[in-house]
């Protein structure tokens, strides 16, 4: 009998790819979406999935579906560098708490919570792993993801919730409209600037590598339950190198504007102040979060999951970025 899996945030970039890989591996998939969600990414799977309407912020809207499944992959998140703190809290903290409570109440066999390496904060992180000290910081996304992760840990430690926490790096791939597509558009429009000479390291994670990790966690519950895993491509690459590869694939010149860290924060402060005064819903081109991300050493290694579960990421960033660029142009042609 097929195992029944609920995916929260199933309509998003990450969630829809999780749906895809679960179907390919013969799971019975229940895709949780809101009634107002854009279902574009799920359309290819409509005939194969059970579409469920609900909202992680509304616990009562989830009760019925939790009675039908045995595994939950919690991918729903408010992922942005712009917005009010309560917006982040409602989804990333309260929503996660609701999922944990229902998972416990209905004796879910395995909850996989998708957190983020951002919980560790933007400090000097070189070859960092799960033993790295977590620091509180001012960025709403980081703070809310950290509190959401602490909520899961509390349920695991106090109530013995069957759960695994994964901390992905900067996820990229076809249909990534959070990081890669905006970066591509900024480069093509000559609106992209290199931060601090692009000398700092990032932790990219190709979407298929994330999916490989999730499958390993699902297939090896005895080893993965109760654990936290950092997931990255396990490649040490700077923002300058990453940007150069992307520019080459786009046939674009490498950005000539270089913004020092201190100036980046000044520009971000002024931009954010104006946008907040005007109550703009879209973020300015430069935000403090973006400056911190590209001007901090932020390199993490997935040695734990490689050693315990046999994770072997595809490390060909150029090939994976090529697929992403091709998908970007394809999406433009389809509009």
Least confident of 90-94, 200-204, 330-334: 330-334
Asked if residue 301 has pLDDT above 90, the reply is yes
- 291 within some domain: no
How does pLDDT run across 199-234, given as a tens digit for each residue?
999 999 999 999 999 999 999 999 999 999 999 999
Domain containing residue 111: 4-173+203-233+300-314
Asked if residue 176 has pLDDT above 90, the reply is yes
Three-state SS string across 35-48, please? CCCCCHHHHHHCCC
Give the closest residue to 289 by CA, choosing from 77, 78, 82: 82
Strand partners, 205: 171
Contact call for residues 22 and 5 (beta carbons, < 8 A): yes
Asked if residue 127 has pLDDT above 80, the reply is yes
Residue 29, SS3 per DSSP: strand
- 191 within some domain: no
Give the closest residue to 116 by CA, choosing from 77, 160, 161, 84: 77
Would you place residue 294 in the very low, low, confident or very high pLDDT band (cuts 50, 70, 90)?
A: very high
Q: For residue 131, what is the domain's CATH number? A: 3.40.50.720
The pLDDT score that the predictor gives to residue 15 is: 97
**Domains in the chain: how many in total?**
1
3-state helix, strand, coil in the chain (%, to 5): 50, 15, 35
Asked if residue 335 has pLDDT above 70, the reply is no
Would you place residue 332 in the very low, low, confident or very high pLDDT band (cuts 50, 70, 90)?
A: confident
Contact call for residues 56 and 75 (beta carbons, < 8 A): no
- 66 within some domain: yes
How does pLDDT run across 111-121, given as a tens digit for each residue?
999 999 999 98
What does pTM read for this prediction? 0.95
Asked if residue 1 has pLDDT above 80, the reply is no
Rounded distance between C-alpha atoms, residue 201 and residue 324, angstroms: 21
Asked if residue 99 has pLDDT above 80, the reply is yes
Contacts of 22 (CB under 8 A, 6+ apart): 5, 7, 29
Would you place residue 2 in the very low, low, confident or very high pLDDT band (cuts 50, 70, 90)?
A: confident
In percent, the amount of the chain with pLDDT more than 70 equals 100
Exposure string for 147-186, b = 16+ CB within 10 A, e = fewer: bbbebbbebbeeeebbbbbbbbbbbbbbbbebbbbebbee
């Amino acid at each position: 009998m097929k195992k029944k899996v609920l995916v929260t945030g199933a309509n998003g970039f990450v969630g829809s790819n999780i749906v895809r890989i679960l179907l390919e591996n013969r799971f019975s998939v229940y895709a949780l979406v809101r009634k107002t969600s854009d279902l574009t990414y799920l359309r290819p799977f409509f005939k194969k999935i059970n579409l469920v309407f609900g909202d992680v912020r509304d616990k009562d809207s989830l009760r019925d579906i939790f009675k039908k499944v045995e595994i939950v992959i919690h991918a729903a998140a408010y992922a942005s560098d712009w917005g009010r703190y309560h917006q982040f809290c409602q989804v990333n903290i309260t929503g996660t708490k609701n999922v944990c409570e229902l998972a416990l109440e209905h004796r879910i066999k395995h909850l996989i919570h998708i957190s983020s390496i951002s919980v560790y904060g933007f400090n000097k992180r070189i070859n960092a792993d799960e033993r790295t000290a977590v620091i509180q910081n001012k960025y709403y996304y980081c703070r809310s993801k950290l509190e959401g992760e602490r909520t899961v840990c509390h349920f695991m430690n106090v109530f013995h919730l069957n759960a695994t926490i994964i901390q992905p790096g900067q996820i990229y791939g076809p249909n990534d409209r959070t990081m890669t597509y905006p970066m591509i558009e900024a480069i093509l429009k000559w609106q992209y600037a290199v931060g601090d000479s692009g000398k700092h390291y990032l932790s990219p994670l190709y979407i298929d590598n994330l999916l490989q990790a999730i499958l390993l966690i699902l297939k090896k519950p005895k080893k993965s339950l109760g654990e936290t895993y950092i997931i990255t491509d396990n490649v040490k690459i700077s923002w300058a190198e990453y940007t150069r590869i992307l520019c080459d694939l786009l046939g674009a010149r490498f950005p000539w504007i270089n913004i020092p860290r201190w100036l980046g924060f000044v520009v971000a402060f002024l931009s954010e102040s104006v946008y907040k005064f005007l109550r703009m819903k879209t973020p300015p081109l430069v935000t403090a979060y973006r400056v911190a991300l590209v001007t901090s050493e932020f390199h993490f290694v997935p040695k734990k999951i490689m050693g315990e579960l046999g994770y072997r990421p595809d490390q060909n960033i150029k090939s994976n970025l090529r697929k992403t660029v091709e998908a970007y142009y394809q999406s433009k042609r389809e509009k």
